[in-house]
Structure 1
């Protein structure tokens, strides 16, 4: 009788050990999708914009500028361009995120793959209250992975 209890105890302990301390669990406990990434480092605006494909066909676009955003009035837009023609519409940085001399962090999700950004350029465009448009800086996206 004692031998059966000891054998059962050892069997249960070994099973728990292998399930808890190895990747042999029947379900994946923390699935990770490794996506591709592109970024644009701005010099005059001293900031970075990063685009990361966090699931198939969906990217997260985020960034921040630390200098060069001097006018709290008007409209600041991020414009993706380059051959072939971009399918990404210009994105307006909300007025609440404009904090001269820069911006607070911003982010948007797009139902596009990373290929919509790779090989393209990103421009920061300012439209004043009197509708004068100025391109502040244009940088090419750099791809990693």
Structure 2
């Protein structure tokens, strides 16, 4: 559903919309190129976000907050970097081991029973509903006569 809205929004851009859809998804139809790109985006994006967050945390821990010059504003304070970095690393490892244990011992515990219903291409699944965070996209698409 989200990919449909994204595709419609991109294709609504004058002059370059079709080219953008071709570049991102490989076309309007769902085939091997589209699925490959979709899965590649969904696979690599969390790693990019995690890496940028890690770099952000490292810079925050080394230089501190609200200190763009890098000057030591209070030498009497406990240094932030080694102690809080180890605390964050330990918290991350505890969270990771908890989620790994949960997913390996009881993989269906957090799942949805709707995942086991047979697919029917003629019926939209009940969990796919227009969500509130897509309202701006629907408003944009409804203002374009040939889109909705």
- TM-score of the pair, normalised by structure 1: 0.21
Higher strand share: 1
Higher helix share: 2
- TM-score of the pair, normalised by structure 2: 0.21
Task: Report which of the two structures shows the higher radius of gyration computed on alpha carbons.
Answer: 1
